[in-house]
Structure 1
Amino acid sequence: MPENTDYKAPKSENQGIAYRERLNSWAIARLLPDTQREIVARFRSRSDADGYMQHLRQEKPNASFMVVFDCKREEAVI
């Protein structure tokens, strides 16, 4: 299996954490005014994200949510 050469992580003890963060690429975003979005939760699979989004829509029917694939995560979001 070929190695992922696109991602250049520093060789340190944080490499395991960086890999774990890359696994959770599916996210649920809450749509805010002025075309802003807020990431509510992250998931490894699309089906998990869809299931949790159904729960969120039942809990907060007036809010707008969307499932997104976030391949380039912001550094501030953990």
Structure 2
Amino acid sequence: MMYSERLHPWVVIRLLPKMQRIVVARFRNRSDAEGHLWALKRLMPDGQFVIVFDVGNLEV
């Protein structure tokens, strides 16, 4: 996981058919991710989106 991805752990993902997904955007806090998700749902009402917290790979 790149440094910039660790700084933005909240991810908005668009769910696609056949178990595919696209990372739409990354955010530093959940509130920003929820605001973006709200806008996406208004612009694309048929799209399926989720917010996840990406912890990345734990490297020891």
Aligning the two structures, in what range does the TM-score lie when normalised by the shorter sequence?
0.7 to 0.9
Greater percentage in strand: 2
- Large movers: runs of 4+ above 6 Å: none
Among the aligned pairs, what percent are the same residue? 46
What is the root-mean-square deviation of aligned Cα atoms in Å?
Answer: 1.6
**Greater RCO between the two (CA within 8 Å, min separation 6)?**
2
Unmatched segments (≥5 aa) in structure 1: 1-16, 74-78
Please name the residue that 2:35 is paired with.
51
Unmatched segments (≥5 aa) in structure 2: none
Length-normalised TM-score, structure 2: 0.83
